[in-house]
Amino acid sequence: MKKFAITAAAATALTLTMANVAFAQTTQATQSPMVLAAGEMAKAKEATSDTWITTKVKADLMTEKGIPGSDIKVETNEGVVSLSSTTAVTDSQKEMAVAITKKIKGVKAVSADGLKAE
């Protein structure tokens, strides 16, 4: 439960950071404020979604027994998750990591080419 609380706090902090970055960008005077705001909200939502997915994947891999979650790097771009590691993992660990990642809401595809196999 403690791990979940830490993960939730981290996800919230990252979400707020990404939203602030999206809103800090300069605007063009030729478009109406409502159009600009809608575009900025879409950018913030996408960035927040990728951040949330990365955090959720990492948390699920860390709590799964039999997977070296702390050794697996997770990156997300537009819903596509890339898993990589500097230490070797077994084929079954690789398959399990991919299966866990695919179950997460918002994940469009998973690439595990970066996971080194034993």
**Spans of all domains in the chain:** 2-114
pLDDT exceeding 90 applies to what percent of the chain?
Answer: 49
For the whole prediction, is pTM greater than 0.75? no
Rounded CA-CA distance 40/25 in Å is 8
> Does residue 16 carry a pLDDT above 70?
no
Residues 6+ apart with CB under 8 A from 26: none
Cα–Cα distances in angstroms (integers) from residue 116 to residues 21, 34, 39, 83, in the given order: 34, 48, 39, 10
Confidence of residue 118 (pLDDT cuts 50, 70, 90): confident
Mean pLDDT score of the chain, rounded to an integer? 78
> Does residue 63 carry a pLDDT above 50?
yes
* CB distance 84 to 52 below 8 Å: no
> Does residue 60 carry a pLDDT above 90?
yes
**What is the reported pLDDT for 27?**
43
Higher pLDDT, 42 or 114: 114
